[in-house]
Amino acid sequence: MVTGTKTTVWLPSTASNRHASVRLFCFPYAGGGAVIYRDWHRSFPQTIEVCPVQLPGRGGRMREPPFTQIRPLVEAAAEALLPFFDKPFAFFGHSMGALISYELAQLLRAERAAAPLLLFVGAHSAPHLRNREAITYNLPDGKFLEELRRLQGTPQQVLDHPELMEIMTPLLRADFEICETYPVSTAPPLESPIVAFGGVDDVEVPREKMEAWREHTTGQFALHMLAGDHFFIHTSQAEIIRIVVREMSRRVGGDKV
């Protein structure tokens, strides 16, 4: 495994796995960090190396300013993660992470670099669909807090803790700005197959907005609607992992969970 300050900052919890034949890079939702995927490796066979990605502004990178636009974020991620693309790999992203995964795959294609074997995307509208939601990242603090409570993605104990919210609010605003100012994609479809996940009770991203990801690949496409709301990544984690392992194993071989 390639090591170095820049790479290990982006992949803080990834241990070298010489048995792995493929890597899975996991990108978080808005306000989240690599900790979301902290225990995923326990449910994967040794042939798949799970690589949770730590973005600036969270975890051990708390002192770094978070990105507010997706293009510079993806460019920085590509530069840091490039040494890890030395073997077959796939991307997994939930909500904001889905956009990051998609844009990173597009950037790699534009630079004629290696392409992901698979793109796993969850809980975000297809990139060509215009965002019709209200802009919230620049709301006054009180209104922004109300929006966070409505979305139900931030733990109640954090919302009720002024000191924690003082730390979290700049990060959440930055991540929301990435999502809310994302320009609709006009890029041609990727060749990488796409596997999409939606929550049956997700009012923010209904089935039809997940189904529309089909337009972004010339390869195979599959949609799985799972139990839960926008954060079904937690409530349906076992099912997500089962599907991811199955799809990756079909393409690279190896043991299954």
**Would residue 21 show up in a list of annotated catalytic residues for this protein?**
no
Q: Token digits for 171?
A: 């990060």
Q: Which of 8-12, 99-103, 184-188, 252-256 ranks highest by mean pLDDT?
A: 99-103
pLDDT band, very low/low/confident/very high, at 15 (cuts 50, 70, 90): low
At 141 the three-state DSSP class reads helix
- What one-character DSSP code corresponds to residue 62? T
Nearest Cα neighbor of 179 from 204, 211, 201 is: 204
pLDDT of residue 148: 87
- In the predicted model, is pLDDT for residue 211 greater than 90? yes
Q: Token digits for 238?
A: 């076992």
Q: Catalytic: which of 16, 43, 95, 249?
A: 95
Task: Evaluate whether 165 touches 145 at the Cβ level (below 8 Å).
Answer: yes
pTM: 0.92
Q: What is the mean pLDDT of the chain?
A: 91
Question: pLDDT > 90: what percent of the chain?
Answer: 75
- In the predicted model, is pLDDT for residue 68 greater than 50? yes
CA distance 250 to 257: 13
Task: Evaluate whether 202 touches 175 at the Cβ level (below 8 Å).
Answer: no
Beta bridge partners of 198: 225
CA distance 252 to 95: 26
- In the predicted model, is pLDDT for residue 180 greater than 60? yes
Domains of the chain with bracketed CATH: 5-129+188-252 (3.40.50.1820)
> Other CB atoms closer than 10 Å to residue 221's CB: what's the count?
17
pLDDT of residue 191: 97
pLDDT of residue 257: 40
